[in-house]
Amino acid sequence: MAHKKKRSGLDCMIFSEKTVSQIAAADLGEIIPVVGQISDLGPHRIAISRAAHVCWICGYMVEVDVEVPFLEITKPQKCPELNGCGSQKTLKLQEDRSTFIDIRSFNICGKNDYYPNYDFKIYTTDMASIIEINSDVEMQVKILRKSVNSKDKHFELYGFTEKVNISLISRNKEEEELVSSLSKGGRNSNQIVRNALRDICHQRGIATLTDVLNRCEPKGISEFQVEEVISKMLQAGELFSPINGEYSFAR
Q: What residue ranges bind Zn ion (CB under 5 A)?
A: 55, 57-58, 60, 79, 84-85, 87
- Residue 118 near residue 110, CB atoms below 8 Å: yes
Length of the chain: 251
Return the number of the residue (87 or 189) whose C-beta is nearest Zn ion: 87
CB of 84 to Zn ion, least distance (A): 4
Return the number of the residue (16 or 83) whose C-beta is nearest Zn ion: 83
Return the number of the residue (69 or 84) whose C-beta is nearest Zn ion: 84
CB of 65 to Zn ion, least distance (A): 21
- Residue 159 near residue 34, CB atoms below 8 Å: yes
Neighbouring C-alpha atoms within 13 Å toward the C-beta of 71: 8
Query: Distance between CA atoms of 155 and 141, rounded to whole angstroms?
Result: 18
CB of 96 to Zn ion, least distance (A): 19
Return the number of the residue (54 or 179) whose C-beta is nearest Zn ion: 54
Closest to 128 measured CA to CA, from 160, 159, 164, 101: 164
Going from the C-alpha of 74 to that of each of 50, 62, 78, 124, the distances in angstroms are 10, 11, 12, 21
CB of 79 to Zn ion, least distance (A): 3
Helix then strand then coil, in percent of the chain rounded to 5, is 25, 35, 45
Return the number of the residue (60 or 120) whose C-beta is nearest Zn ion: 60
Closest to 157 measured CA to CA, from 66, 13, 27: 27
Query: Distance between CA atoms of 192 and 86, rounded to whole angstroms?
Result: 62
- Residue 6 near residue 64, CB atoms below 8 Å: no
Return the number of the residue (60 or 118) whose C-beta is nearest Zn ion: 60
CB of 97 to Zn ion, least distance (A): 15
- Residue 42 near residue 106, CB atoms below 8 Å: yes
CB of 44 to Zn ion, least distance (A): 36
